[in-house]
Amino acid sequence: MIVPKHRILQEFAITYAPDRANAARFDEVARLLGIDAETVAAIVAESMGEI
């Protein structure tokens, strides 16, 4: 399944909680969208200019 970047970023934003680690958020978004956590991490990093 192809998931648009904006959809990944939206789901990542929804999973925000002050005491929650990004790795847990990557895993949750990946599970919800049926993709791997590494892809989520790469898209988030890219959008934040970290790549």
Residue-wise pLDDT for 8-27, tens only, equals: 999 999 999 999 999 999 99
Residue range of the domain that includes 32: 5-47
Sign of the alpha-carbon torsion through 17, 22, 26, 27: negative
List pLDDT tens digits, range 29-46. Answer: 999 999 999 999 999 999
Structure tokens at 33: 């969208």
> Model's pTM, two decimal places?
0.89
- Predicted local confidence at residue 51, as pLDDT: 58
Alpha-carbon distance of 27 to 36, in angstroms, equals: 8
Number of H helices and E strands in the chain, helices first, is 3, 0
**Tally of structural domains, the chain:** 1
- Predicted local confidence at residue 7, as pLDDT: 97
